[in-house]
Structure 1
C-alpha cells in the first residue's frame, strides 16, 4: 500500500522544483527570497526530507503560489473533490494523536485553504507570519482553543469562531481537557501571492 507521507514529499519536491525553474530562479535566489537555506532546498527538491508547515508556507509565499498547490499529489480535474480521509496531514503532535490536515485549497486569484485540526491536552502549534494581507478564520467544533496573536490571547469554546490577520506570528493552544477539534481557513490576497511571481530576477 502506498505511503501517503511519501507521496506528499514527492509532490512537494516536484512542485518546488517546477515552480522555481519556471521562474528561472536558482537555488540561491529561492533561498534568498524565502529564508529557507539552500541546503534545505536541495533536500526538499531531491525528496529527501519532510519539511515543516512553516517551511512550506515560506516557499509558497516566495514562489507566489499556494501551500495546497505545493502538496498536490495529482493533476487537478475541473471539479476537484477530496474524499473523507484523503486530506494531507502536515502537522502531527509529538506526544498525542493530534494532527493538522489540509483538506483542500484553491488556486489564485482567490487562494483559500481549508484545514481540519485535532489537538489533545498539552498540544500547541506556533505559526510563522504569512505574507501581508493573509487572514485566518477558525471555528471550534469541540473543546477549548486559545489563539495568540501579537501577544493577545483569546480563548474560544465549542461553537465560537474568530478571524484575525495572520501576517504576524500566531499560535494555537489546547487549553481545556479532552479532545479539541477546530476547522481553519487561510485566505491570502491576490496581490500578495502574485507579487513574487512577477519579479523574475535572480
Structure 2
C-alpha cells in the first residue's frame, strides 16, 4: 500500500512539474484535457484519487506517455565517480556509465611522457572532438601541428593520422569519442 501511495504521489508531482515547466496554468491544462480545473487541482494536490481515464488525456495534453509518467524513480546513483586509468603520460577518467547515443565521454590528463611518435598516430572511421580544460594541447593532424589552448575545442576527421599531446606542461581535455574512437584511444595499449 505504501508503494501505491508513493507512486501516486510521484505521478502527481510529475503532472504538476510538467505543467509548470510548460508555463501552463491549471485552467490551461484542464482545457487541453477536458477536465475541470478544480478536478485537476485536486488530482495535483492529492485530494482526489487518480483514475486511468483521467491520466490518458492529461499525459496526451502534456505530450508524454503513460510509461514516462509512471516510470519508477528508483534510478541508480546519478553521480559518476570515475576511477582513473593510467598509461605513460596519460590518465583517463570515463565520465559516462555507458555510451551516450554511440559516444563515450572521457576526461584526459596528458603529460610530456605520452608517446607522440608517428607510429602512435591513430586512423579510424569517424570524427573526434575535444575541448581543453587547462593547459595547451598539441594536436598533430597529418603533417600539421596545431596548438589548442584552454577554452578552445577541436573537431576533425579521424581518417587523418592524429595524436594529442601536451605542449609546455600538462594538459587536461574532455573528449567525446564514437565507438571507433573509444576503441582506438582508450583501449589500445600503445596510447
TM-score class, shorter: 0.3 to 0.5
Larger Cα Rg: Structure 1 or Structure 2? 2
More relative contact order, 1 or 2 (CA 8 Å, 6+ apart): 1
